[in-house]
């Protein structure tokens, strides 16, 4: 007769129906140990559902939490896998010597409760809370579970910085960091360390934490396939979506999610590059595998969007990962009498990616870019600056490098000429009767160019104050002053504050998860930042510079306001205002990738300090000339490029285009084979 209430018991346990549970327990007919048709008893059902009240009643009634389900899971395994903090706490506190309280007990598949917690589909906050409970009861984050994967390796694979911080135990008083070093040295059967897995996941926060907790060699680790962290970050970004995943809907939300993922991978590459740099801002030879990460980008599956590939390629070229590509490599090979290496640009062109090929063939970009703005009249320069790329749809040509505008103008005039439009030549472009039409065609050419390039991925980049420098007599920023400021900043490198410690990064990551709602509310209540836009782009001897100016409507004092005051004061200004106008310098900002302010705390080149209101710059792209490098193709060459690119792609697939460089096919195949590693 006892079995008659078991289905009702399990059903009530799944729905947290405490009244029904209490009634059935009072009947005396309940068998709490018997497994139902689905392999669960009531305790399993309550733990799996996170039904805390019911689970507490069952345990109080004598339910044995050590009994395994039909699939070999204890109640603790099920509660941990669901991310149910309350259920985990109840099961850890039942006392006694039952196997349910053996926190590292594996289930029938070899997974410990902590490992199941890490791979749970629950929220990041729920996973973190459950992991803390398990760790407090002695769970071993380095214990190998199924396939040799520990909880720490699993957390790195999903790029969960907050959970990694808890597992590493950094900053604790226990073993002086021995646990953290043991976990950092652990590898999967394929030889992937936590850092390599976090790189493949595209998690910049996890990478910063692991780099801070590790040794100088942590960033240089390679797996059994010879792939380093940058290689794996690019492979992760260029991996094709799983076949079972439906294609993303063509909506703004889907595009925003894709751009956010692109931004994470892009930032991951920059974090790793900053760790591996040789001091010049560019990576030394051998920092990545051959074929280069650029070749992996060129050979990415067709499902990977053009804007992601362009963003990755631009970043890789900025940090110096041009290895094995095009003119420099071809010249070196010719000098050695060897055949030229496979070209990433050629691989991109064979796949019909003419714009990406042009980006890969463009001249090596300078360091930077640095971002500059005039120090506001009403206060100090902002100590930090957020640059939002993709905030505007097309590049502001009047604020871009002259070469970019010239290329667009040439293409516009050629297009008008091919259409037989009078005024498509130079006279119209120079402002004669048809100048208006040429300007309209120029705008159209710009929009078409951006569309061909796939647009720009929206992403935020953080910049920190590097220096404040004096202007020239006309208030302009002098290239020589920029170069001098960079040299002085390099000499002061030892005076800069060190990057945040692993303990600080772990706390920050966990606080971000724990206080996500409060942080969002505080951000919503904070006053809006001062907004800036791009005003000019130029290059000095050592760096590219993007100058900013306050956006329309920004609450700042402008020169025209002082002009009005001059008029009000009869052509002169009070001494204090005059001094403020003449002394107003330029603030230079350098990208912040390791979590430490670049130069604000160390002082500026000319003695200025930051501390002004927070600022946001909304731009098309900091890499606009590089992203639109294909515009340097001679006007009228579009049809040739499209015909050559398309034919090359077809011929390469059929084996007809391999006569000139038989190595290309092998290199492409190797690059393609690397995109699914680490998963």
Write the pLDDT tens digit of every residue in 456-465.
889 999 999 9
> Which of 166-170, 222-226, 386-390, 654-658 has the lowest average pLDDT?
654-658
pLDDT, mean of residues 195-216: 92
Confidence category of residue 598, pLDDT binned at 50, 70, 90: very low
Which pLDDT tens digit goes with each residue over 322-351?
Answer: 654 444 444 444 455 555 556 899 999 999
Q: Is the pLDDT of residue 675 over 90?
A: no
Q: Mention every residue, 6+ apart, whose C-beta is less than 8 A from residue 55.
A: 13, 43, 46, 47, 75, 79, 86, 87, 90, 91
Cα gap 620→395, rounded to integer Å: 5
Classify residue 215 by burial, with Cβ atoms within 10 Å: 0-12, 13-18, 19+: exposed
Write the CA distances from 487 to 367, 481, 483, 490, integer angstroms. Answer: 13, 10, 6, 5
Cα gap 273→317, rounded to integer Å: 11
According to the model, what pLDDT value does residue 134 have? 94
Pair type for strands 459-469 and 586-591:
antiparallel
Reading the block at residue 35, the tokens are 């497994």
According to the model, what pLDDT value does residue 648 have? 32
Pair type for strands 610-612 and 381-382:
parallel
Domains defined along the chain, listed by start:
2-139 (1.25.40.20), 225-238+255-365+638-679 (no CATH), 367-390+456-514+530-622 (no CATH), 401-451 (no CATH)
Q: Mention every residue, 6+ apart, whose C-beta is less than 8 A from residue 217.
A: none
Please say whether the beta carbons of 302 and 352 come within 8 A: no
Residue 545 vs residue 649, higher pLDDT: 545
Cα gap 562→224, rounded to integer Å: 65
Cα gap 84→91, rounded to integer Å: 11
Cα gap 374→612, rounded to integer Å: 12
Q: Mention every residue, 6+ apart, whose C-beta is less than 8 A from residue 372.
A: 477, 482, 545, 546, 547, 548, 586, 587, 588, 589
Which pLDDT tens digit goes with each residue over 468-480?
Answer: 998 888 888 989 9
Confidence category of residue 44, pLDDT binned at 50, 70, 90: very high
b/e per residue, 361-385, with b = 16+ CB within 10 A? bbeebebbbbbbbbbbeeebbbbbb
- In DSSP terms, 376 is beta-bridged to none
Cα gap 596→505, rounded to integer Å: 11
Model pTM? Answer: 0.82
């Amino acid at each position: 007769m006892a079995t008659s209430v078991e289905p009702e018991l399990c059903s009530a346990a799944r729905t947290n129906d405490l009244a029904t549970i209490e009634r059935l327990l009072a009947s005396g007919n309940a068998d709490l140990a018997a497994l139902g048709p689905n392999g669960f008893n009531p305790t399993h059902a309550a733990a799996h559902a996170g039904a805390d009240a019911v689970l507490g009643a069952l345990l109080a009634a004598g339910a044995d939490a050590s009994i395994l389900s039909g699939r070999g899971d204890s109640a603790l395994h099920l509660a941990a896998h669901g991310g149910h903090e309350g259920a985990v706490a109840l099961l850890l506190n039942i006392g006694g010597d039952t196997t349910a309280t053996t926190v590292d007990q594996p289930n029938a598949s070899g997974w410990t409760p902590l490992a199941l917690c890490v791979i749970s589909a629950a929220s990041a906050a729920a996973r973190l809370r459950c992991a803390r409970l398990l760790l407090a009861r002695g769970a071993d984050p380095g214990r190998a579970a199924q396939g040799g994967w520990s909880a720490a390796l699993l957390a790195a694979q999903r790029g969960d910085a907050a959970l990694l911080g808890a597992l590493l135990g950094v900053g604790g008083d226990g073993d002086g960091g021995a646990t953290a070093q043991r976990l950092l040295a652990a590898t999967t059967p394929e030889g992937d360390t936590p850092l390599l897995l976090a790189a493949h996941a595209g998690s910049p926060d996890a990478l910063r934490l692991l780099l801070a907790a590790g040794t100088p060699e942590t960033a240089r680790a390679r797996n059994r396939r010879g792939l380093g962290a940058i290689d794996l970050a690019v492979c992760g970004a260029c991996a094709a979506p799983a076949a079972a995943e439906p294609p993303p809907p063509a909506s703004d939300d889907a595009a925003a999610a894709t751009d956010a993922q692109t931004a994470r991978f892009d930032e991951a590459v920059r974090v790793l590059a900053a760790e591996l740099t040789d001091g010049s801002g560019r990576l030394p030879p051998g920092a990545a595998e051959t074929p280069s990460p650029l070749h992996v980008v060129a050979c990415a599956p067709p499902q990977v969007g053009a804007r992601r590939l362009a963003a990755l390629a631009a970043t890789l070229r900025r940090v110096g990962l041009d290895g094995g590509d095009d003119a420099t490599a071809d010249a070196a090979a010719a000098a050695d009498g060897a055949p030229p290496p496979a070209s990433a640009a050629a691989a991109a062109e064979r796949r019909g990616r003419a714009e990406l090929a042009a980006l890969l063939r463009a001249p090596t970009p300078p360091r930077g870019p640095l971002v500059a703005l005039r120090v506001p009249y009403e206060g100090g320069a902002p100590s930090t600056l957020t640059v939002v790329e993709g905030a505007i749809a097309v590049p502001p040509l009047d604020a871009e490098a002259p070469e970019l505008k010239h290329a667009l103008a040439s293409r516009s005039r050629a297009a008008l000429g091919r259409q037989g439009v009078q005024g498509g030549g130079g006279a119209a472009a120079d402002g004669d009767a048809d100048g208006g039409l040429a300007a309209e065609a120029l705008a159209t050419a710009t929009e078409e160019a951006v569309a061909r390039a796939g647009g720009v991925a929206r992403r935020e980049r953080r910049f920190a104050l590097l220096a404040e420098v004096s202007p020239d007599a006309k208030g302009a920023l002098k290239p020589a002053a920029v170069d001098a400021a960079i040299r002085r900043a390099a000499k002061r490198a030892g005076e800069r504050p060190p990057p945040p410690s692993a303990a600080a990064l772990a706390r920050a990551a966990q606080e971000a998860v724990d206080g996500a709602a409060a942080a969002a509310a505080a951000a919503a209540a904070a006053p809006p930042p001062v907004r800036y836009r791009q005003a000019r782009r130029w290059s000095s001897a050592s760096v590219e510079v993007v100058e900013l100016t306050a956006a329309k409507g920004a609450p700042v004092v402008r020169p025209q306001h002082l002009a009005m005051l001059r008029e009000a004061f009869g052509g002169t200004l009070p001494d204090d205002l005059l001094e403020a106008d003449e002394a107003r310098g330029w603030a230079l900002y350098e990208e912040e990738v390791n979590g430490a302010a670049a130069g604000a705390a160390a002082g500026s080149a000319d003695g200025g300090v930051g501390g002004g209101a927070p600022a946001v710059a909304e731009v098309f792209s900091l890499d606009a000339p590089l992203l639109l490098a294909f515009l340097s193709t001679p006007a009228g060459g579009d049809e040739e490029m499209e015909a050559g690119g398309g034919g090359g792609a077809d011929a390469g697939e059929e084996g007809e285009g391999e006569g000139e460089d038989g190595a290309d096919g092998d290199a492409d195949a190797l690059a393609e084979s690397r995109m699914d590693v680490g998963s």
